[in-house]
Every structure is written in C-alpha cells, then in structure tokens.
Chain A
Amino acid sequence: MLLGTNLLMAQTEAAATTGGQADAPQVDWTGVAYYLLLFFLVCLGVAVIGKILKIYDLTLQIQGKKGMKWNTIMAVVCLVFLVAGLYGAYWSFTVQGSMTLPEAASKHGVKIDEMFTVTTVLTMIVFFITQILLFTFLFNYRHSDKRRAHFLPHNNTIEKVWTIAPAIVLTILVVFGFFTWQTIMNTTDTKGDINIDITGHQFAWELRYPGKDGVLGPKDFKLVSAANKLGVNFKKRSSFDDLQVDTMYLPVNKSIRLNIQALDVIHSVYMPHFRVQLNAVPGLPTFFKFTPTITTAQMRTQLDDPKFEYLVYCNKICGGGHYNMQKVVRVVTEAEYQAWLSRQKPYLSDALRKELHFAAADQPKTELQNRLALNN
C-alpha cells in the first residue's frame, strides 16, 4: 500500500518537475486530486471494513454467540507487534547501524567509544527485556471472564531490588562517564600544542594558524574590517606571522588545541569523526584539545572510499545557511604538514597592509560592506 503510493507520488513528481520547467511552476491539480481521491478511497475502505465487522459481530450475537472477542484480537496483535518489532529493531541495528560513524580518529574518541559500547550493551539489555515483558504480559494476561486479576498492591522487597539495581548500574555509568569527561575536558596544560583558531560566522568558518613563533596574535572584535575579518590586533608582534588557511591540516598524533570563537551568533564546531564538539559563542572564547590518530589517507583505505574527507561543520542553528557550513579537515603526516604549512599565505595580506596604513584616513565603510557581501 505504502509502496504503491510512493510510486504514484514519483509519477506526479515527474509531472510536476516537467511542468516546472516553464517560467512559473504550475500546480499539477490532477496530481493533487489524485491524492485526495486516494485518501478518500482509503477512508471509504476503512468504513466498509468497519461496517462488515459490525455486521459480522451482529450476526454472531444473533446466533447467540458472544460477538467478536476484541480483547483476544488485540492481545494477538500485541504479540505480532512484538515479534515484528523485534525483527525490525534487529534489522535496523544491522543495516542502519552499519551506516554510522567509523571508529574514532582521535585519542579521547576511543575512550568515548568504549563508554558508548558499555552504555549500549547495558541499555539494550534493559530495552529488550522490558519490551518483551511488556508485550508478553499483554498477551498472557488478556481479559477473560473466567478469572480475576491477582490482587497485588505492593511488594517492598522487589521494589527495593528494582530501585537499588538501576541505582548501582547508573552509579557505574556515572563514575565511568565522569572520569572520561574530566580527562577529555580538563586539559589545562598548553605546552607543545598546535594552536589553531577557528571562528564561525554566517555562514563559514575562518581558520588562522600561528606562524613560526607558535603564538596566535590577540584579537578584538572592534578591529574587524573587510580585510581583517577576525579583528586581529597588529599592535602585537605575535600577530605578524599568523597564517590564514583554507583547509584544516592537522599533523597526526600531535596534540591540537582548537581555539573556538564566533563573530555573530552561536555556532558549533562539530567534527564527528574525532568526537569533537564545542559551541562557538560570541564573547566567550573556548577551546577543545584533541589528538588525531588516523590520517585521511589511512581512513580512505580503511573505509575503501578514495573520496573520504574529514569535515568540520556547524551543529548549532545559526540562520538560513546553517545546513552548509563545512570545511575540509585533512590529517597528514608531520612532513606533509610542514610542507603544507610553508605554502600558506600570511594573515597580513596586501589588502590588510593597505588598510592598516590608511586606517587613520578613515576609509569609507560602504566599500567594506560590499566586499563582505560578495564573500557571503
């Protein structure tokens, strides 16, 4: 039934798209009428079946029988649902479960994945046991005029057991989770990290790498201009050798410190393959430290997908272009990283030099905005 409608839908769509090639798309009213008619027919079918059931029920009663046993029918349907549901869950776990993210490509991600596996095993045991109990109880204890329910208002022992048992399981998960969380987030030592600045704005990410000194120059939102998109402060020496890059290259097995900021609204840096996510909040600089462990090339062979790329994308609603705010992330060997780094252009571009030079002359703002508009 569903398949049938799907097919019909496809047909009318085809009609709609061919009709849509004219200047203004035309509504395919026959298609609409078709669906309405179809729905009407389904309703009619339901009504007819309902009437037949009613008549059947009445004839049973006329013959002196009890009429349709809806309690039994529903109990059987519950059992059928249980079996079909269990199969569906199994199918979903195997087919769709295999479409999920590959193994974590970062050090802390492995810990998160272990935590995930433990939680999944525990919760799925509870899930299957409780659902099976629920629906078998429904079938087993369906209504019968011949017996009465078992009067059982409470049983303190069993209630204590099933209060304490989940409490223990959850304590294990809490302790495990708490320490995993602390090791991921409580990384205050900054020595030896590669600092990378990632700044979100509507609707793109800007990346800034430190130069030879390994230090990123300070920023101030009041300094933002067309050529100085991030508002880097060039009164400080450390700003001069900063690099502006297009793709996030990361050397494998090196600790990375992502400095996360936003210019306009809240964005969220999301790199699911590395199990990395942190919001980019305007006025609240944050950072996330992680160590990538699998290079892009390795992941490509592992997944048998020569086009595979790690991505960073936005995971906090930020406006109309939210759904397309991606940047490619490449994890490479140290040598490749250094080679790439040496090819990158400084943040202090010619345009910015010019702008800084003429800063006192108070450049007209209109030109500035036009350029930004183009960039968007």
Chain B
Amino acid sequence: MSTLAVHDHGVAHHDDHGHEHHHNQSFLSKYVFSMDHKMIAKQFLITGITMAVIAMILSILFRIQLAYPDKTFPLLTTLLGRFAPNGRISADFYLSLVTIHGTIMVFFVLTAGLSGTFANLLIPLQVGARDMASPFMNMLSYWFFFLASVIMLSSFLVQKGPASGGWTIYPPLSALPKAMPGSGEGMTLWLISMVLFVASSLMGGINYVSTVLNMRTKGMDLWKMPLTIWALFLTAILGILAFPVLVAGVVLLIFDRSFGTSFYLSDIVLNGVQQPFEGGSPILFQHLFWFLGHPEVYIVIMPAMGISSEVMSVNSRKPIFGYHAMVYSLIGITVLSFIVWGHHMFVTGMNPFLGGVFMITTLIIAVPSAVKTFNWLATLWRGNIRFTPAMLFAIGMVSFFISGGLTGIFLGNAALDVNLHDTYFVVAHFHLVMGSAAIFGMLAGVYHWFPKMFGKMMDEKLGYLHFWLTFIGAYLVFFPMHFMGLDGVPRRYYAFTEFVSMQRWLTVNTFITWAAIMAACAQVAFLYNFISSIFIGKKATQNPWESNTLEWTTPVEHLHGNWPGEIPTVYRWPYDYSKPGAEEDYIPQTVPFSQTMSSNLPHDFEDNPKGLEELNKFNSTLKANEQVK
C-alpha cells in the first residue's frame, strides 16, 4: 500500500489489544487495524478519495443524460444493465444517481474524508500529542466509516437499485417502498449505512474534542492553536451535537418503513390505495433532518476554512490577518448554524412567521462569513506569495466561497426563496459554496500535508495543471446554472424535453456536461500525481514549506508517538511569519522569545508582564548602545 516507505517502530506497544490474526499480526496492526492516528488519517483519505471518484463518475453519468436526453448510448446499457435499458439511463436510476452522488459527496467525502483525514492527522501533530485520546475508538471510527461506505455502495447491487429520493430522503417518498423503486431495499441500505456513518462520526468527534481539550503540549494554550485546529475542534463539536438528531430522524423513519408507525405519515393514498397511516407529519422529518443538515454544511466548510487559513498564511509568508476575529467568527458560525435550519423549509408550508425568524438568523450568519473573507484578502495584501499547488487551491476555495456565499444572501431571504427554491440556482449556490469550496480546501490540505503523510513531495507542475483545469471547470459548470435557476428550471429533473420553455437550456446543458467531463479528466492528473508520488516522489525535507506549526518538528520518518524524545514546548502563536527583525521569515512555535529578542514586539507579551519588562530592558539597552555609537 501507500506507506511501504514508512517505518513504524512504535506499533509493538499496542499489540496487547489483541486480535485473532496472530499469523500476520504486524501487517494487520500496522496497515489495517492500525491505531496510529497518522495511519488512520491515511486510511480516511484514501477511502475518501475513492468515494469521491465514484461519486464524480455518478455525476458524469447523469450529466450525460442531461446533455443528450434524446440520444442512446449502448455503452451505458453494457455498463449499467437494467438501470439503463436501450442505451438511456432510466428516470428512476437517474434519481438514484443524483441521490447517491449527493450522499457520498456530502457525508463520505466532505465530512469523513475531510474531517476524518485532517482531524486525525493534524490534531495530535499540531497540538503536540503522541496520539489521539482514544486510539482504539479512533480505529473503530474508521472501520465503521468503511463499513458504511461498503453498505452504501452495495445498494447498487440490489434488484431495484439504490435509494432515489434525493440525499434529503424526505418521507413519504422515502417511507413508502411502493412510491418509487429506490424506496425499497435501496433505502433500507441507505438508512443502515447512515446509522453506521453517524456512529463513526461520533466516535471520531468525541476523540477530536477530548484530544484538543486535554492533550495539548506544554505552552499550547487555546489561543496558540493554529486555525486548522480551531476549525477542526469546532467542527467536531458541531458534529457531536447535530449528528445524533439525524439518527433520531432516521430511526423514526425506519420505524415508519418497517414497523407500521406513523411518525411522518398521514392521509396518504398511493396509487389509489389508502395507506393505514394517520397523525404523522412529513414536516417533522424535515425539521429533524435539517437540524443536522444545516450544521452539516458548516461541518463540511469549516475544516476547509481552517486549512485554507493555515495554507494561505504559510504561503503568503504573512500572519493570518485578525487571528482572534477568525476564531470568533468560527465560534459565531458554530453557534448560529444551529438556529438557521428552517431556511431550507421556507416553502414547505411551515408557519410563515417562523420563516421570517429563520430568515433573520440566516442573514446574521453571513456576517462572520464576510469577516472571514475580508481577513483572507487582508492576509494576501502585501504578502510575499508563493504559488504552491496547496496555495492555489486555498485561493480557489476563497474565490468559490465568495461566489457561492453571495448567492446565499438570495436564498436566505424567504421572499426570494419562493421562486428560487429547488431550482438550479440552489444547485449552483451550494455546489460553489460548500461543494467546490470544501473540496478545494481538502485538496489544499492534501497538497500541503502530503509530505507529512507520506514523506514524499507531490509534483508541482501536475498540481498546477490539476488546479487550473478544476478551477475553470467548476466555474464553467456552475456559473451558468444560476441563470437556469432564474428561469425557473427545477433541479432533479430527468430531462427538460417535456417543457417547451426549458428546451432552450439544452445547449447550455451540453456545454456544462463537457465542462464537467473536462474537470473530471483533470482529476486523473491528481490521482496519478498522488499515487506515483507515494512511491517515486522526491523525498521530503522535515519542513518543506518553512512553516511554524508543530507538525513540521517531527521527523520525516513516522514514529508511533510522533516525537522521538520529549514533546516540544510551545512558546508563541503559529503565525510569526516575516516578523521584522527576525533572521528568517518564519519563527516556529517552539522557538522561545528569549532567542528572538531582536524581533519581539510589545504585543507578544500582552499577558506576560515579566516578558514585557525584559523586552523593555532589551530595547532600552539597544537604544543606549546606538546612542553610544
């Protein structure tokens, strides 16, 4: 596998946990049932990338249907069999594709793949811990995730196909197996998979929070943590508080489907047959779903924000602008994200007054988001910008976040949402602001911390190619969709051929599909780069980006326990880049102020009167010396 070059000396410590495969213990405990956070991070990453590629292929399949609704592609029948009879994807399977694409991307790639990878890799390394608080639970977290992924994909093998009610699986459509083929066994598998997924996410989240709170190294107080850690920490809190609500919603749905309860169902006549459900409310499910669903989009975007902040600071050779404001806006987003879920439900028939309240909270959450954007711009201002692929992806993240975030102001406004709800405008909005932005944050992280993960460097030029094709491709795909939405073109339509008014968008659809295919092909450059660099990449140095954070003080060769000797002590915040008076343009967190007297500022000693006294003494002697000269 990927990590053959890595020597894991410390694994032996954990053999006492024991398992049945004693004949091949070292391999299994090292690569498969590993409890080392770095290996688990790699497992999450590789599984996440695999799921992303699968979900991307699904999206290309339905894009082909949208671009060529009248043409037949016999190859599709060969590949998909009964799901694409006569060379065309069937209407039901089209909805399955949309549903599973959304589910995989939101949960399996951008939640587990993103948080799972970088929380596991960075939390112990950047706060200075030897491993996670509970390595065993960490391992379980990955294997529950893996199992959830396998079950989700296995739904393609059942007779009637995977779940197809959209990734939001609103009942009654998802609750009545006869309402559509995908609501049969496919839906059951979807629900089982999600329960396992949430279990995985909770085990991971509890680990991340407890590690950040309890296992920071000496000197690492909360205000010395890099923004990546802040973001991952708050994301984990969000997940712990929000995901159980989804489980509650899902379990009640399982009851309605399998045990005849009526939590979400009432007054239903399906195909002329009265259903025996009374007294439930489909809206209840939507409340439960979006109580997770909305924090979920911040679970997706906040780690990307943290990663981008860190990468942009390192590569601008400048401290992140307004570190405190960045942290407070993350906290603000975390808190507010729990009281905005109703903006997904403006037109469900929910009480209009409630809609008004949710509109107010929704537009308030735009303030911390705006602050973050301005702070990123200020970080670039007068920087000394190095264009590593990671930096480019972080910039792309900011660009997408602006473009997609601004359309959120339309959709968060209940009055405007009346006409925009569930149109392509929404598709364009969330694909830019959380889809593309989050995946760019993730890719920035992969390019930036690849040397830490695999001890090798990725190829920069292929990274450039990958970035520009993907960046341009994403804009070409999603920008025109806004206008389709403004023309009232609904999402999740199998074909626009039935509406005279929508047929003129067909050429645009064809264009979007080709842009999507181009962007998909560009991912081959990434995959080739990623896989080949693991084996034949240039060997990485200890601190290839000249970064301040703690993970770059560990040796390139991985150790179980991260640091060979004592864990280093932290003396300063992580963003002392280009400090005037310093020898280098970066000062790692482990360098005490006593070694950098010439670059110390009064600001560095705000809560340290003794240090300030020292600094004043130093400055006055410096002045005195100059006067003597």
Contacts and interface: CB of A to CB of B under 8 A. Distances in A.
B419 A99 contact: no
Contacts of B87: 16, 20, 25
Given A88-B479, A123-B407, A186 B176 contact: no
Given A151-B579, A174-B360, A143 B377 contact: no
A106 B387 CA distance: 52
A96 B508 contact: yes
B117 interface: no
Most buried by B among A25, A202, A225: A25
B494 A322 contact: yes
A314 to B, nearest CB: 8
A42 B524 CA distance: 11
Contact of B419 (A85, A275, A369): A275
B451 interface: no
Interface in B268-321: 268-274, 280-283, 316-321
Contacts of B406: 123-124, 126-127
Interface in A1-57: 2, 5-6, 13, 16-17, 19-20, 25-28, 32, 39, 42-43, 46, 50, 53
Interface residues of B, number: 134
A376 B356 CA distance: 39
A221 B282 contact: no
Interface in B446-484: 460-462, 464-465, 468, 471-472, 475, 479-480, 483
Nearest to B380: A137
A307 B504 CA distance: 14
A268 interface: yes
Contact of A141 (B385, B494, B500): B385
Contacts of A112: 415-416, 418-419
Most buried by B among A137, A153, A180: A153
B321 A153 contact: yes
B293 to A, nearest CB: 15
A375 B486 CA distance: 33
Nearest to B483: A96
Interface in A148-179: 148-155, 158-159, 162-163, 166-167, 170, 173-174, 177-178
A138 interface: yes
Contacts of B409: 119, 122-123, 170, 173
Contact of B374 (A127, A162, A226, A376): A162
A143 B402 contact: no
A144 B317 CA distance: 11
A234 interface: no
Contacts of A16: 71-74, 87
A190 interface: no
Nearest to A265: B173
Interface in B420-465: 421-423, 460-462, 464-465
B517 to A, nearest CB: 9
A133 interface: yes
B352 interface: yes
Contact of A369 (B272, B384, B486): B272
B68 A149 contact: no
B505 A324 contact: no
Nearest to A230: B269
Nearest to A185: B352
B318 A101 contact: no
A344 interface: no
Contacts of A277: 347, 418-419, 421-422
Contacts of B410: 116, 119-120, 123
Given A130-B373, A138-B395, A141-B380, A369 B271 contact: yes
A231 interface: yes
Contacts of A283: 265-268, 280-282
Nearest to A371: B272
Interface in A277-318: 277-279, 281-284, 286, 307, 309, 311, 313-318
B135 interface: no
A16 B64 CA distance: 15
A39 B90 CA distance: 28
Contacts of B78: 27
B169 to A, nearest CB: 10
B540 interface: no
B342 interface: no
Most buried by B among A20, A96, A143, A151: A151
Nearest to B346: A181
B415 A111 contact: yes
Interface in B472-526: 472, 475, 479-480, 483, 486-488, 490, 492-496, 498-501, 504-505, 508, 514, 518, 521, 524-525
Interface of B, secondary structure class, is: helix
B318 to A, nearest CB: 4
Contact of B349 (A147, A270, A279): A279
A351 interface: no
B213 interface: no
Contact of A2 (B352, B385, B514): B514
A98 to B, nearest CB: 9
A50 B461 contact: yes
Contact of A130 (B267, B402, B460): B402
B137 interface: no
Contact of B74 (A19, A173, A266): A19
B179 A17 contact: no
A143 B322 contact: no
B387 A99 contact: no
A181 B356 contact: yes
A319 B268 contact: no
B386 to A, nearest CB: 5
Most buried by A among B92, B321, B413, B500: B413
Contacts of B319: 151-153
A59 interface: no
B325 to A, nearest CB: 5
Interface stretch (A67-75, A210-218, A355-363): A67-75
Contacts of B265: 282-283
A315 B423 contact: yes
A29 B549 CA distance: 54
Interface in A77-91: 77-78, 81, 85, 88-89
Given A123-B409, A368-B272, A321 B91 contact: yes
A266 B487 CA distance: 23
B385 A71 contact: yes
Nearest to B270: A264
A180 B414 CA distance: 9
B283 A127 contact: no
A221 B370 CA distance: 49
B2 interface: no
B271 A264 contact: yes
Given A70-B464, A71-B385, A278 B349 contact: yes
Given A16-B71, A71-B385, A71-B387, A284 B282 contact: yes
* CB-CB nearest 5 A-B residue pairs: A272-B488, A283-B266, A185-B352, A74-B387, A286-B349
Interface of B: 68, 71-75, 77-78, 86-87, 90-92, 95, 165-166, 170, 172-173, 176, 179-181, 265-274, 280-283, 316-325, 347-349, 352-353, 355-356, 359-360, 363-364, 366-367, 370-371, 373-375, 377-378, 380-387, 392, 395, 398-399, 402-403, 406-407, 409-410, 413-416, 418-419, 421-423, 460-462, 464-465, 468, 471-472, 475, 479-480, 483, 486-488, 490, 492-496, 498-501, 504-505, 508, 514, 518, 521, 524-525, 575, 577-580, 585, 603
23 contacts: A16-B73, A53-B461, A75-B387, A111-B415, A124-B406, A133-B377, A137-B377, A143-B386, A149-B578, A152-B319, A152-B382, A153-B603, A166-B370, A170-B366, A182-B356, A265-B173, A270-B422, A275-B418, A278-B347, A282-B267, A320-B91, A320-B92, A369-B271
Given A141-B384, A163-B371, 15 more contacts: A16-B87, A100-B486, A138-B385, A141-B316, A147-B384, A150-B318, A166-B370, A166-B371, A202-B270, A202-B271, A263-B269, A268-B422, A283-B265, A311-B501, A322-B95
